[in-house]
A and B are shown apart, each in its own frame.
Chain A
Amino acid sequence: DSGVTQTPKHLITATGQRVTLRCSPRSGDLSVYWYQQSLDQGLQFLIQYYNGEERAKGNILERFSAQQFPDLHSELNLSSLELGDSALYFCASSVALSGRYQETQYFGPGTRLLVL
């Protein structure tokens, strides 16, 4: 168990709908990352938040958005869903330390999204 929790575990919805995925980082971790894992694209970085602020953006669609709240949990919002959005969505967290320290990212169990 990595200490990162994600809800829900499974989500089935229809095209055009909107869903929210939730992530709670490990205790003490300030950075949260979202990744998408699909069969044809592998693991793709979407976005990173640090202490409530967006820090880095990857291959995130405009239909998707995220935020990190004061209690450090994060939500990933997916709207106008398409069939191709079906994938596993992972959240990861890491400790942010001062200085040049490379932070290991610990992954949650993921949310499996199926768009019908």
Chain B
Amino acid sequence: GESVGLHLPTLSVQEGDNSIINCAYSNSASDYFIWYKQESGKGPQFIIDIRSNMDKRQGQRVTVLLNKTVKHLSLQIAATQPGDSAVYFCAEKAGGGFNAGGTSYGKLTFGQGTILTVHP
């Protein structure tokens, strides 16, 4: 029978290699982007974020690159470890404005995710 469900892109790497996970976003008005990691049976875990006024941001072993011209986001993981194996999601948020209370409207739009498998 026909399978159902999302067919996620996959990336397999050897331990110690660098990984690059890509994401194309859709809304040119999005001004905030986040990468999340989701391990099996757990909720999405924040990795790194970037605002649209930046094109690169570095964290510990991770770097996010933003190319607004082509609406592309990437996550680079240095020296990938088996514990990095998970599904990685990019998420975008359009500004949405602020109300009198000073909070932004928070809808995040998630990409479909990429499965990263790290082989020892």
Contact = CB atoms under 8 A, between A and B. Distances in A.
Interface string B86-114: 00010001011011011111111111110
Interface residues of B, number: 33
B83 interface: no
Given A39-B6, A102-B32, A110-B43, A45 B109 contact: yes
Interface stretch (A13-21, A47-55, A65-73): A47-55
A55 B105 contact: yes
Nearest to B112: A42
Nearest to B99: A55
Interface in A82-110: 90, 92, 94, 96-110
Contacts of A44: 110
- The prevalent SS among residues of B at the interface is loop
A50 B44 contact: no
A40 B113 contact: no
A44 B89 CA distance: 12
B102 A98 contact: yes
A83 to B, nearest CB: 13
Given A45-B109, A102-B51, A2 B45 contact: yes
> Which residue of B34, B95, B110 has the most chain A CB atoms within 10 A of its CB atom?
B110
A90 B31 CA distance: 24
Contacts of B109: 45
A81 B44 CA distance: 25
A11 interface: no
Given A90-B43, A96-B101, A55 B106 contact: yes
